[in-house]
Amino acid sequence: MKEKDFSKISARSGEEGFSSFPPGYEPRKTRYIVVMGTVISGLGKGIAAASLGYLLKKRGYKVSAMKFDGYLNVDAGTLNPFRHGEVFVLDDGTECDMDLGTYERFLDQNFSKDNYLTGGKLFNRIIQKERAGEYLGRDVQFIPHVTGEIKRFIRELALKKQLDVLIIEVGGTVGDIENSYFIEAMRQFASEEGKQNVLFLTLTYIIQPSSLGEQKSKAAQLGIKLLMGLGIQPDVIVCRSENPLSRKIREKISIYSNVPVENVFSSPNLRTIYELPIFFKNEGLDKKVVEILGLGRNESDEVAELEEFVKRIKEPEEEVTVAIAGKYTLLNDSYASILKALEHAGAANNVHVNVKWVETTEVGDPGKELAGAHALIVPGGYGKRGVEGKIECVRHARENNVPFLGLCYGFQMAVIEYARNVLGLEEAHTTEVDPSTPHPVICLLPGQEKVERLGASNRLGGRDVQVIPGTRAWELYGRKTIVRERFRHRFEANPEYVPMLEEKGLVFSGKAPGENVMQILELPDHPFFMATQFHPEYTSRPLRPHPLFKALVKAALEKKRRGE
């Protein structure tokens, strides 16, 4: 029987199918790996996907990754970090899930809006097309239109980037209503592309109750069975667990899933997530994936650089403590990129960075709260909760020579603190918190006054920063006068107050090219006191730590060695 050419299907044809093939797309040119969860969320599907992507890239393949999130938000921009972890920002301004940050760090490449699809973005796209009449009078349905648009989104990225391998992570777990149409789309996708070109990798969890002391696989079996009931036959199963997987459990998972035992892989808890690609390589996961997908090339898969990086993490020469003073400290994932940037910087300095969490809504005596910390970070945020605590922490760091790095809102808190305690403007504030302040040292960016909606309304994404020669920032950036950083803010240092602040010793060492918008500040006479209106943590990579984080950790180490 002749194989059907799905690329010829169109809405005009009268067939039930809906064309999800963009013009110029060549079926079966790109191989696809679909990563799905089963039992519980939060297992690390993104880390597993990124680790596999890293290994395939090291083998010489052109690789990218994509994330599906079922929630009906158009993007992650309005999500509370308590609910979903940090909001990661891509260079093109897309506000997205923190897994995209994991992909960028592991693959060492920038991603875009084409790598991220939410339920809200998907349905928004469909409704706009329906209103424009692009479905040619058809009644718009989940099948073929919703699933068809998902498949088209995948193929558009594969075509645009001319990829060898595209890794697709389906967020959530099997059985969730919100991701059911994504799972159905993947079932159809495998049929259309040819099963030999689409590999299903399923993550599951093997429990080990402390009362029993042995691994149990029944919950994993049930989750996999549910996925199979939706028409997805896993090709590879990765079992998350506290300890390495026993042979007995591998065999049980194999029997109940129709997956050969050699295709069942272990993923135990490790010291650092960057150890996972090395572990997968030793397990032979990348080799098995290459074999199943029939990928022809098998170039160098050397991972010595990563092994050296992991060694420095696991065997540091010293350790320092960095305080993070924020208002989302009850959920560490709220500051995931900062933690990773500190890990990168720590390895570069051969030190382990301990993090001391300071909840700024409860700060009384900042000296007591920051006791034992060799450096302080005040991260980004919005709103008035915890503001006064942040300002007091900044004051303590400035007055007591504690190395300090302010990020976004932390930059604004540093300006307020300096205006209050050095300029003597006691009621200085940001108009975000106090619209009637007599000294609005922080105010709205130009053009933000009439913005009413919250989603995607910030100054977002990658922008150039002009660095002033002769400053500490200029030295740390390798004496570059233009650097690119990522932003997510609506407020700025009020230009009217900048000359007053500079007269009292505050140096604005970076600004927006051609604009009077301040973007980096520093104190020359302080061991290390810097703040940025942008988020340097977004662009830190394991083998290329961000220079500001690297310098902060170095300053913390020097403070510790001085015995301060």
pLDDT of residue 454: 53
Phi–psi pair at 30, nearest 5 degrees: -100, 140
Q: Is the pLDDT of residue 353 over 70?
A: yes
| Structural domain contains residue 407 | yes
Residues near 12 by Cβ (< 8 Å), separated by ≥ 6? 136
pLDDT of residue 450: 58
Phi–psi pair at 491, nearest 5 degrees: -110, 160
Handedness of CA 35, 38, 42, 48 (dihedral sign): negative
| Structural domain contains residue 515 | yes
Q: Does residue 144 have a cis peptide bond before it, meaning omega lies within 30 degrees of 0?
A: yes
State the DSSP code for 209: -
Range of the domain at 430: 316-561
pLDDT of residue 184: 97
Distance of CA 411 to the CA centre of its chain: 22
Q: Convert the pLDDT of each residue in 173-212 to its tens digit.
A: 998 899 999 999 999 999 999 989 999 999 999 999 888 8
What residues does 406 pair with on adjacent strands?
Answer: 378, 531
Phi–psi pair at 397, nearest 5 degrees: -65, -40
The token pair at 417 is 């603190």
Query: Quick check: helix, strand or coil at residue 328?
Result: coil
Residue 326 CA to residue 437 CA, distance in Å, equals 23
Mean pLDDT of 46-68: 96
| Structural domain contains residue 52 | no
Q: Is the pLDDT of residue 4 over 70?
A: no
Strands of 413-453, DSSP E: 428-430, 439-444
* Residues with catalytic roles: 408, 535, 537
| Structural domain contains residue 29 | no
What residues does 489 pair with on adjacent strands?
Answer: 459
Residue 70 CA to residue 170 CA, distance in Å, equals 8
Tell me which of 176 and 507 has the higher pLDDT: 507
State the DSSP code for 234: -
Closest CA to 77 of 537, 420, 430, 457: 457
pLDDT of residue 458: 78
Domains in the chain, number: 1
Is 510 in contact with 522 (CB distance < 8 Å)?
Answer: no
| Structural domain contains residue 285 | no
pLDDT of residue 299: 64
What is the value of pTM for the model shown? 0.92
Mean pLDDT of 32-61: 94
Residue 455 CA to residue 453 CA, distance in Å, equals 6
Q: Is the pLDDT of residue 274 over 80?
A: yes
| Structural domain contains residue 119 | no
Handedness of CA 509, 371, 335, 409 (dihedral sign): negative
Residue type, 36: M
Q: Convert the pLDDT of each residue in 127-153 to its tens digit.
A: 999 999 888 888 999 999 999 999 999
What is the CATH number for 545?
Answer: 3.40.50.880
Of the listed ranges 384-388, 429-433, 462-466, the one predicted with least confidence: 384-388
| Structural domain contains residue 263 | no
Q: How far lies 65's CA from each of 47, 158, 537, in Å?
A: 11, 10, 20
The token pair at 88 is 């990661």
| Structural domain contains residue 552 | yes
Is 337 in contact with 294 (CB distance < 8 Å)?
Answer: no
Residues near 4 by Cβ (< 8 Å), separated by ≥ 6? none
Q: How far lies 108's CA from each of 35, 417, 541, in Å?
A: 20, 37, 7
Residue 404 CA to residue 551 CA, distance in Å, equals 10
Q: How far lies 529's CA from each of 262, 341, 400, 517, in Å?
A: 54, 18, 11, 20
